[in-house]
């Protein structure tokens, strides 16, 4: 099996996440303990008991999703031998940690700080995001250009599926682009609950802070290629990992191209996409990007046991 790991991004968090993994798999429990220790707070308690409002805060949600993803990965053990990986936005950090390019503690501290920097950038210059459904991404990008003028910025931020694009920028410009997309035939434009205009030029201050931080954290060359959000190319060196993780904050998440690249590199029909961690969003997107692709979501202890039983690598 040519396993390709997919690691989810922000929005996948929910109270109770990962609790069953910690209860049933010592390797998963060790990940949650390492993250709690690295952050100096009982993040796992917040993940398992809530309150949800606190868990949803960017600087909590990001390390929580990373912890759940890496716990599921640890519970799987060596059963899937990945040929490549990718993560959606924040998930790219989980992908590097799964590829042993980044240690668990370092990854947890990095994404916690990333969340804080993103929130601070959002406080400095308020921005927002909206999902545009049922319109080709090229048309969405054209409407964003039309809605941007002089000072106001709106860009296509997440190219999630051929007919699903998230736009990001100044609130007035996002509103204007949304109206233009509706007029151009979008089925729906939905405002997202976010604390800033992520993956847009409005994140420049956060990107500068993050770049400095990334230079200080030890990275290894990944054990298998990680396809980067920013350019949809496989990353094989520590220096490229650092550079592209910094660029990611102001660049669009090229998810459609990432999935197509992973599919091609993993031998097309021979590839099995394994979404590890909370939620099933990425497996759903895979099936819309590459119809006929095999995609499985592994987030619960039951999911892990079912996968291990089917692949019987005991």
Q: pLDDT of 47-100, one tens digit each? A: 999 999 999 999 999 999 999 999 999 999 988 899 999 999 999 999 999 999
- Measured CA to CA, the distance from residue 242 to residue 99 in angstroms comes to 14
Distance CA 77, CA 262 (A): 22
Band the pLDDT of 1: cuts 50, 70, 90: confident
Helix axes 238-248, 91-98, angle to 10 degrees: 170
Predicted pLDDT of residue 313: 52
pLDDT higher than 90, residue 22: yes
For residue 214, pLDDT over 60 is answered with yes
Q: Does residue 51 have a cis peptide bond before it, meaning omega lies within 30 degrees of 0?
A: yes
Scanning the chain, the segments in alpha helix (DSSP H) are: 19-24, 26-39, 43-49, 52-56, 58-76, 91-98, 104-124, 137-147, 171-183, 204-216, 238-248, 255-265, 281-289, 301-311
Whether 314 is catalytic is: no
Domains contained in the chain, CATH given: 2-122+202-311 (3.40.366.10), 127-195 (3.30.70.250)
Q: Which of 137, 148, 199, 297 is catalytic?
A: 199
User: Which is nearest to 229 in space by CA: 206, 266, 198, 274?
Assistant: 198
- What are the distances in angstroms from CA 122 to CA 23, 32, 126, 291? 37, 29, 5, 37
Task: Using pLDDT thresholds of 50, 70 and 90, give the confidence band for residue 314.
Answer: very low
Query: 29 vs 16, 70, 117, 178, 228, CA distance in Å?
Result: 14, 10, 28, 43, 29
What confidence tens digit (pLDDT) does each residue in 298-313 have?
999 999 999 999 987 5
126 catalytic per annotation: no
Contact 75, 32 (CB under 8 A): no
Q: Which one from 89, 101, 200, 300 is the annotated catalytic residue?
A: 89
């Amino acid at each position: 099996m040519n396993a390709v790991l997919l690691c989810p991004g922000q929005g996948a968090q929910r109270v109770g996440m990962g609790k069953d993994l910690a209860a049933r798999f010592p390797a998963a429990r060790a990940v949650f303990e390492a993250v709690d220790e690295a952050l100096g707070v009982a993040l796992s308690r917040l993940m398992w008991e809530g309150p949800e409002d606190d868990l949803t805060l960017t600087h909590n949600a990001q390390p929580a999703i990373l912890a759940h993803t890496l716990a599921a990965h640890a519970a799987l053990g060596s059963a899937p031998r990945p040929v490549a990986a990718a993560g959606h936005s924040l998930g790219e950090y989980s992908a590097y940690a799964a590829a042993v390019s980044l240690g668990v503690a370092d990854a947890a501290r990095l994404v916690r700080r990333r969340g804080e920097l993103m929130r601070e950038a959002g406080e400095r210059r308020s921005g927002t995001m909206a999902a545009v459904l049922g319109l080709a991404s090229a048309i969405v990008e054209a409407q964003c250009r039309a809605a941007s003028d002089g000072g106001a910025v709106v860009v296509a931020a997440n190219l999630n599926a051929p007919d699903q694009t998230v736009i990001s920028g100044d609130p007035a410009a996002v509103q204007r682009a949304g109206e233009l997309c509706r007029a151009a035939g979008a089925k729906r434009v939905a405002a997202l609950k976010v604390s800033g205009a992520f993956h847009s030029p409005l994140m420049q201050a956060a990107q500068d802070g993050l770049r400095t931080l990334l230079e200080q954290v030890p990275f290894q060359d990944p054990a298998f290629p990680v396809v980067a959000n920013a350019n949809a190319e496989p990353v094989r060196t520590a220096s490229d990992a650092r550079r592209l993780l910094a660029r990611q904050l102001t660049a669009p998440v090229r998810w459609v191209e990432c999935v197509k690249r992973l599919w091609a590199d993993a031998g097309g029909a021979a590839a099995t996409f394994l979404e590890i961690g909370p939620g099933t969003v990425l497996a759903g997107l895979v099936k819309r990007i590459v119809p006929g692709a095999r995609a499985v979501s592994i987030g619960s202890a039951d999911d892990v046991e079912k996968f291990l039983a089917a692949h019987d690598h005991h």
